[in-house]
Amino acid sequence: MNNTTTDLNEEPEFLQRGSGKRYRYGSKLLLLSSALLCGVGASAQYSTPATPAPYNPIALAEVTGAPRTAVQAGQTNDRALSQNPYLGGVAAGKLSATPVQLSLNDAVAFGLKQNLAGVLATDAVTDARGQRWQALSELLPHVITDTGFGVHQVNVKAAFGLTIPGEPPIIGPFGYFDSRAYLTQSVFDWTSIERARSSQALLKSAEFSSKDARELIVLVIVSNYLLAIADQSEVESATSQRDTAKALFQQASDQKTAGLASTVDVLRSQVQLQSREQKLIVAQNNLAKQKLVLARAIGLPSGQKFEITTQIPYQELTPSGLDESIQSAYTDRADFQSQMNQVGSAELERKAASAERYPSLGAEADYGLSGVNPGSSHGTVDAAATLRIPIFQGGRVHGDVLRADASLTRERQRLEDLRARIDQEVRDAYLDLDAAAQEVSVEKSAVTLATRNLEQSRDRFTSGVTDNIEVVQAQDALAIASDAYIASLYSYNLSKISLARSTGVAESRFAEYVEGK
């Protein structure tokens, strides 16, 4: 899989090869509304995560080769990928010597619990909840206690300008004891009220951002799992091609022994065999490395081996109408709901800034015991109400209002941009789904034709009608067609999970979209 923590709303581009033609397909997301935002961060004003893409390392791709080539072409910035929280995980569990049987559902379940971006998103919600309590504290009672015991000595004349006949000029030393509880309470402060409401909107925004991070995690995990399946298919295809090349080499050797083939035919077959063995080595290495990527993203213990158990053949998906999907995306996309709450919070902050001009009313009281020592202390009480009326504050309120206006305008603009981006992503997903389905059909037919061509070329060589140049060319054609079919099937399955993400149902319906369940 791959992901991955950007502006979470950015998507990377890379190339993927297939049968000499170029196609564009997108798995829209991402990660990371800004994972991929650096995980997910909350500040005084909560903001969605922001980390460089890819949430979906298989986003907008052009088909130009095998899946592995496509991913490598798009993931050129190793540092950005290594820092992408959607590609990281918090390892859990114990290392097992027995390979784990890992299904797609298991991989997603592990990822939702242990993917680093999800953990950071949860922390961001906790941070936003802390900000909420900080804002509420301005409206709630504050009670503190203070107890002290001291020794005093007073110079009466110096302190009061008096000389008392018959009394010494210095009084003391004498003890003094005071134990007191203080209560302060805001009775009316419209600024604090609006800021408390704003913090509640920020908390909701953080919760929706956390949900959106889970959507992106599903996209990343499923994408990487699909890539592992594609790599596994590449290994199987390369193994089959190696075995075929081995049989053709043996056939050429037998033909030479029988005087029906030349030495160059044998050498040509041997070169072809070595080429297929090299391709198999590369395919096996790519599969092993992709498994490491997937294991890290879902938080498996380091070094844990596992086997891919879910196979996903071609399964046609018939989505609902385009307009209906676009409208449901606005309702179901957590990033859209998060941004709406960001706008609501900015509106309340604007009101809070304006309310700084309003009077505020507070109350404070204290009660305690005072005396020269605890045994001789007496109760005392003080209470007061305070009306604060701002008259002139040096332009501070005007400055706060200007900044709040700018913040509100910025959040509204982001909301409108997100609205347009969601519309584009859903439309792109529909186009990609249709194009990928057609591509699968074409490439499947190409494999059938290439297989028949190889069979006929072998028959012609066996009959001595031609040399094995034709056979080698037919082998290469079949290899290219097989790789293109694997890439097209991967592209189609990827377009399905991308559609689920673009409409906001990746977590709840990924199995239905990808596996047809």
* Cα gap 222→103, rounded to integer Å: 11
Per-residue pLDDT averaged across 27-53, rounded?
34
Q: Is the pLDDT of residue 83 over 90?
A: no
Q: Which of 424, 512, 516, 479 is nearest to 65 (CA)?
A: 479
Q: How far is CA 342 from the centre of its chain?
A: 19
Give the pLDDT confidence of 325-377 residue by residue, as tens digits.
999 999 999 999 999 999 999 999 999 999 999 999 999 999 998 887 777 78
Q: Is the pLDDT of residue 43 over 70?
A: no
Adjacent-strand bridge partners of 188: 361
Pairing of strands 306-308, 100-102: parallel
pLDDT in the model for residue 287:
95
pLDDT in the model for residue 80:
58
Average pLDDT score, the chain: 83
pTM, 2 dp: 0.78
* Cα gap 241→247, rounded to integer Å: 10
Q: Number of H helices and number of E strands within the chain? A: 12, 9
Which of the pair, 463 or 414, is modelled with greater confidence?
414
Q: What backbone torsions phi and psi does residue 185 show, to the nearest 5 degrees? A: -145, 130
pLDDT in the model for residue 69:
53
Q: How many residues does the chain have?
A: 517
Give the pLDDT confidence of 230-276 residue by residue, as tens digits.
999 999 999 999 999 999 899 889 888 888 888 898 999 999 999 99
pLDDT in the model for residue 166:
72
pLDDT in the model for residue 11:
38
Q: Is the pLDDT of residue 15 over 50?
A: no
DSSP class of 158: H
Q: Which residues of 389-417 are buried (b: 16+ CB within 10 A; e: fewer)?
A: eeeeeeeebeebbeebeebbeebeebbee
- Band (33; pLDDT cuts 50, 70, 90): very low
pLDDT in the model for residue 180:
92
